[in-house]
Chains A and B, each alone.
Chain A
């Protein structure tokens, strides 16, 4: 497709379970970002990939959160031992390069609900 694709669009899980959220960026985009957006808040930065490597993971809240991008395209955000406070919309965004253009192309997000 032409845009950033995220799956699943909705995920309901129980506290303590493991979840994976997938992001397929726009073809050719080398920069990939994960953000988290809680209700009534702006997106909060989690992690940035340039190619295969995580260039900045300073936004990951704790070691339960981990993300990979093994081939420099699709990325997976992994959350272990989920907690109710992890409930949010997880947004993935990509951009053509690491130039400071500020234009990120966002996917529609994965809404995570932890019961």
Chain B
């Protein structure tokens, strides 16, 4: 089993809809979780992190963490075409080393 697994996608949603991206992780001891966004041909950039069970909201983005189920999700409300990108889930290990999932490609169509 991979350390971090994401729903395979690709995911296509209409403009204005909610996009839901999901991630599971294998190490029950993992404490911190991150969502990075990567536009085509560009480098990843951090958009959200979450440490505690429950929801964390930042603008149109909400990260959800359920440590008992080893599940992390990212919701994007009022999706815009500019949100079209690959979303990478990551967990942190020693030294700040991040382990990434394979990514989910999101397309928001007008």
Contact = CB atoms under 8 A, between A and B. Distances in A.
B69 interface: no
Contact of B44 (A43, A50, A95): A43
A101 B50 CA distance: 10
Specify which of B45, B95, B99 lies most central, judged by the most chain A CB atoms within 10 Å of its CB: B95
The size bracket of the interface on A is: 20 to 34
Interface string A99-113: 111111011110000
Contacts, number: 66
The size bracket of the interface on B is: 20 to 34
Given A31-B96, A55-B95, A102 B101 contact: no
B102 A42 contact: yes
A107 B32 CA distance: 23
Interface of B: 4, 31-32, 34, 42-46, 49, 88, 90, 92, 94-103
